Every structure is written in C-alpha cells, then in structure tokens.
Amino acid sequence: MSTRRIDTLLAEMTLAEKIGQLCQVQPEGRDQDDRVRAGGVGSLINVVGDDARHYQRLAVEESRLGIPLLLGRDVIHGFATIFPIPLGQAASFDPAGVRDAAATAAREAAAAGVNWTFSPMLDVVRDPRWGRVAESFGEDTLLASRMGAAMVQGYQGEGLAACAKHFVGYGAAQGGRDYAETAIPPRQLRDVYLPPFEAAVRAGALTLMTGFNDLDGIPATANEALVRGVLKGEWLFDGLVVSDWTSITELVIHGCAADDADAACQALLAGVDMEMASRSYRDHLEQAIASGAVPIAYVDDAVRRVLGVKERLGLFDHPFGRLRGPVSAAAADLQPRQMAQRSCVLLKNEDLLPLNEGIGRVAVIGPLADAGADQLGCWVFDADHARTHSVLAGLRERLGAHRVRFEPGLDSCRSHDEQGFAAALDAARAADVVVLCIGEDAGLSGEAHCRAYIDLPGAQQRLLDQLAATGTPVVAVVLSGRPLALAGVIDPARAVLMAWHPGSMGGPAIADLLFGEPPSGRLPMTLPRSVGQIPLYYNHKNTGRPPNPDSPRVPSGTPLDPRGFFSTYLDEDHRPLFPFGFGMSYTQFDYADLALSSPRLEPKGTLHVRMALRNVGARAGTEVVQLYVQDLCGSVTRPVKELKDFQRVTLQPGESRLVELVLAADQLRFTGRDGLSILEPGRFRLWVGPHAQAGLSAEFELAGGGTAPQASAVPPALE
C-alpha cells in the first residue's frame, strides 16, 4: 500500500518510530503516556472509553508525527449488546443477520473509542472439546467462509477494523486441548482450513491474526510459507498481520527460537507486522536490523501496512471515529432477540411445542434458567448486564409471574448437591409443563476452557431424569458454548431446544420459540452421541470400508460386534446423534421436482439447482434448504459430501416456492496430487435437502472429459 501520506510519513520516521508502529501494548491505566508521546506505540489493546480517547489524543496531538493509534478490543459477539455466541450465530444460517449484528457491535464499540476488533474467528473446528468452538462458526468451511465475510462487512461498514483469526489451523488443536499442536495434512489445510481466511480477505478484512499453534513443526506465528507466502503472496493481502498475545516470544517455548531476539526475527521475516503484548520487536528489532538479520525493507513493509490500515479506517482524518449516532434501545433489543431466535435449534418435539399461551402453570427449573451472565457466554468484557433477560424473566414477562414457579434444583450446573431437587420435583408435579434450563455455564467454554467430557456437568442429568419421572412433560432448553453429547437428554425430555449461549435477549427469544415463533436454527456442527466418537464431522472421506448401513445399531456397552470388517466401533454407534444441518420446525416441508439447469457444467459455468419446497404442515415455518455435492471419483479421494450453498426460506402453511441454489464450477476445485488447485472433470452427485443426511439427489458432469451427462435419482451415500 502506498499513498503520498504514507510515503511522506515513512520518509520522516526514525527507526524507533517505525518499530513503535509495530508494537501493540496493553496499558495499566495511563502508564503508557510517555511511550505514546514518543511514538513508541502503534496500537493499544484493551483500552476503552475515556482511556481510549486519552491515548488517542496523546498520539495525535502530542507525538512528533501525530500518527493515530489502532485501539483494539475483543468484540466477539457484541459489545454492550450481546448476540449469541458465534457458534449460535452460525446456526442461524443467516449471513445477513450476522452482518447486521456485527454492525451493531461496531457502532457500540466505536462509541467507546475502539477502532479494531479481533473478530471474526474463522477456525474450522471438528472437536467440540476445544473451548474456543464457541467463538467459531463450526465444522464447515463454506458456512465459516460466508459467516466470516458477513461479519467483516458488518464491522467494517461501521468503521471498525475486523481481524480474521487465527491464521491458521488453530482449531485443530490435538485432543481438543487449547494451544496444543496441530497436524494438518497440506491438502486439508488448503481445502478445509484456509478458505474461510481467503473469503475474509476477499471481503476486505483489514487485518489478520496468527495463531498460537504449532503447525506440523512450524508455529503459525513463524510460518513464512503461510503468512508471507499464501496470505500476502498468493492472496495479495495488503492489510496488517498481528501476532496473538505473546505468540512471538512463545516461539522460544515451542523450541524453535533460541531467544526473544531470534523469535522477533523469525516472526517479522515470516510476515507478522505487529506484535501483541510481548516486547521482542521493541527490544530486539533495532539490533536485528543493525546486524542485517532483518532487512530494513521488511520493517518498512510492515510499517506501511500498519499505516495503510489506519488510513483506510480514516483515522488520520477522524482519529476518534466518525459520529454514527447511537444504536437505538429498541433496535438494540430487537436485533439480538431475533438473532437468538434464529440460532436456536429444535432437536426433538414429541407433540409438545409450541406451548399454548393458555397453559396453566409452568415450572421453570434448572441452574441456567436465571443465569444472566452465563447465557451471554465467553468474551463479553463490555456487556451491559442490566440489559440481559434470562429465560425466567422472558417467561414471566410473557405469562405473568403468577403462572411461573422457579426452582433452580441445582445452584450451578457443575454442582452435585441435590438438596434443591425436592423443591424442583414438587414444582414439576404441580405444573403443566417443565421448562428445564441446563447445559454449561459461561466458564466452561472459551479460550483455555476445554473439556475432556462433553456431557452435562454436575448432577444435571439426574435432575432431568427425576423430573421426567414425575410425568409432567419436560422441555429441555440446553444452553452451552459447544455441542454436547445429549443422548441422555433426548430420551427423557419431550422436547429439546439447543440454545447455545444466546446472549442478552436469549430469555425472551426462547420464550418466543416455546410459544409459537417458528424455530429455524440448524446445527453448524454434528452432534455426537458420546465423546469417544470425536472427531465426528459430516464431510469426512468414505474409506475403503465405509460402515455397513445394513448392520444393526450396536448399543453402548456391547463388547464385540461380529458383523464384519467395516469402519465402525464395537461399543458405540458410528453415526451421529444429529447430523450437521439438522433442525426441526413446527411444520413439515416437502421437497420435490429437483431439476438442474443443465446436466453438464462448463469449467467457468454455474449450475442452477431448482426444486419445489412446500410447507405441508399447519404452521408457518422457515426451512434452511441445503445443497451438498460429492465428487464421485477424483485423482485424490474426496469428502462424501460438502455444503455448497444454502438458503433460508419462509413459507406459510400450504405455500410452495421454487427454490434455486447455485453452484459455480469453481466451487468444485480441490488440491490435487501435486499440491495445486485443480478443477477436475468428471461426475458429481448433489443433494438438496434439510440436512447432511437427507435430500433429493441428482448427478451432473463437470465438462472437460469423463462420461456422458445424465441426471438421475441415486441411493444415499454410505456414511
């Protein structure tokens, strides 16, 4: 990036001032005044409000060159107003809603002086034990790409720089343990983990953050081939790359840098432009340049990028941001309520939901029924807690307090103390329905908050079992930061709503859904039956011995399965509890008349996939129509299915609509044997359906060779 302003500044800057631009510091109160005045800081992290304005004023008015600061903060799923965790937002399959939520977050953050957020997190995650799955968009590359791009647009449209993180592969932490090493085969890295970042770059993301992870021996923060090579070289990313918190000096602990000076050189040479929190650039870059270990051109390039981001954000002209007007209180409540509604996934409904407004007494039970802070989830530094409405509050508002009896049953979801059970059971017996709010508190997910077991913590399962035994129907509302192993919940509960951590307005949104607002969320991750199945994801390879679909289920605990040499477990079903993309409505949808615009797709062409969707139930509802594709024979093995497009469609009872999904030939690219991206002619199968394990099917041919085109109904893939 080169503009006159940047060229001029660069020509005037001392080496110390240049290095200063590459340093991000977390102040303790106002202890950085002198450094900011001296031009020794390019960015501050975690300063908001008056402190942010104070430091910005110092930088602009009292430093020699008046270069404004980037003021960074983790605005992950809202600022004051908290939206569902990103995993919940992914469940909405609603990129426009995600974009609008990000725009609201940006306006609120900008009003507090923040001009840079460390979001979206684009790590594809196949292991729900990893605590940061809450911050992700789940297991699918296309979903993460679309949601990430939407978030980038939402933030940056309101003047807040986005930061796509963590480049790259951090979500593949082995064992689901945060910061653990990652070992991703190069082809998978290209086809699964990198595309969401490329989509963010194409969407204009101004910044990227490198990960903490060791990626096959080369930590992401020292990975020249990926940062300088792929990101900056291939994708022509011209924004700035920041390290993660002390991830540069951690290169020494990884054991690939001799000391901090070596770590600084490696990171800068790899293409990391700014150092977060640690001080290796500040302490060692000058010497590294003097010794020739780092050419000055690398420093100049990094400084240009930092200044370029500041310029594109408009900070030279409007260092305190442009006045955009506050978010109205009404909008600030409605938007998170709608997003929370769309993020909840109905997993089971045995003739119970929606509840009738005229219902008599409702027992609201469970440690998460009135746990405002927990329903917000992780990363909510700036949340306005006074505006959080719990499930209990939502139901009381809706039904009137006299019809609602609240008994938590357990003091916290991790508790094993069953003293509260008696009162809870008493309330259940006296009620027409139990709304049981169970799951995980906010402290069970997020950075460094991983779990080895992903079932209900504490005595919650026992509470559910005993409540169900009263005979009063139980709706289980599961609030959590990750997919849980819910096999034990599905059977005893008459209805199950997966609500994730739904944010400020989660309570009213859940009340809306229980009383008739149509649920429309779909799973952004496969739900396993048990932790032993992990990693379990829909877009796996077929193997030479796929599980035999005819073999009966093997119940848990069965010691030996004599039924053959297939890719299964002896003691667990190989299938998920619920597949990716799954979610119920209060109505039923019929899929018919699948038609392709052509049985043959040209290499630069687009296939239009049409079908008739009809609401055959008695209530309005929203379906998320999903398009999956399988490459039937490639020069390398290909996944059994990959999501290629989706669309939310709302239909009144009896209404039908012609739905059109789109597949560009380019979406069929993959990384070939030689490591290059190829578009390989041949036969493909597609499905249009409600989730990854169902749908109408047809075949088409990608032109350039292969057999004659033909569209046909085909049997389901072996999974």
* Catalytic (active-site) positions: 244
Q: DSSP per residue over 594-657, as a string? A: EEES-SEE-TT-EEEEEEEEEE-SSS-EEEEEEEEEEESS-SS---S-EEEEEEEEEE-TT-EE
Q: Which DSSP letter does residue 578 get? A: B
Element (H or E) spanning 242, and its range? strand 240-242
Tokens 């859940």 belong to residue: 510
> CB-wise, 72 or 579, nearer to ligand NOJ?
72
Measured from each CB, the residue nearest to ligand NOJ is 118
Q: Which is nearer to ligand NOJ, 165 or 337 (CB)?
A: 165
Cβ nearer to ligand NOJ, comparing 226 with 523: 226
Shortest Cβ distance from residue 230 to ligand NOJ (Å)?
Answer: 20
For strands 275-276 and 23-25, give the pairing. Answer: parallel
Q: Which is nearer to ligand NOJ, 378 or 484 (CB)?
A: 378
Contact by Cβ (8 Å): 428, 459: no
Closest distance between ligand NOJ and the C-beta of residue 49, in Å? 17
C-alpha distance from residue 683 to each of 116, 209, 319, 545, 664 (Å): 45, 39, 55, 21, 15
At its nearest, how many Å lie between ligand NOJ and the CB of residue 83? 17
**Smallest separation, CB 148 to ligand NOJ (Å):** 14
What is the chain's length? 719
Smallest distance from ligand NOJ to CB 90, Å: 17
Q: How far is the CB of 194 from ligand NOJ (least distance, A)?
A: 18
Q: Apex CA 670: angle with CA 665 and CA 674, to 5°?
A: 135
Structure tokens at 394: 């939502």
Nearer to ligand NOJ, 171 or 409 (CB): 171
Nearer to ligand NOJ, 212 or 406 (CB): 212
Number of Cβ within 10 Å of residue 675's Cβ equals: 9
Minimum Å gap between C-beta 118 and ligand NOJ is 3
* Nearest-approach distance from CB 163 to ligand NOJ, in angstroms: 7
Q: How far is CA 630 from CA 311, 487, 675, 678, 700, in A?
A: 44, 29, 20, 15, 10
- Which residues are CB-neighbours of 3 under 8 A, at least 6 positions away? 308, 311
Rg (CA), the chain: 26
| Distance (Å) of CA 513 to CA 127, 475, 504, 586 | 29, 12, 16, 10
CB of 245 to ligand NOJ, least distance (A): 4
Neighbour tally for 61: CB within 10 Å: 10
For the record, the structure tokens of 713 come out as 């109904």
Q: How far is CA 108 from the centre of its chain?
A: 21
DSSP class of 187: H
Our CB check for ligand NOJ shows the closer of 244 and 370 to be: 244
CA max distance for the chain: 80
Q: How far apart are CA 395 and CA 543, in angstroms?
A: 49
- Enter the tokens of residue 94: 């609603």
* Closer of 165 and 190 to ligand NOJ (Cβ): 165
Q: Under DSSP, is residue 334 helix (H, G, I), strand (E, B) or coil?
A: helix
User: Which residues sit at the interface with ligand NOJ, rule CB under 6 A?
Assistant: 74, 118, 165, 244-245, 447
Helices and strands, number each (H, E), in the chain: 21, 26
- Residue 124 or residue 523: which is nearer to ligand NOJ going by CB? 124
CA 436 centroid distance within chain = 26
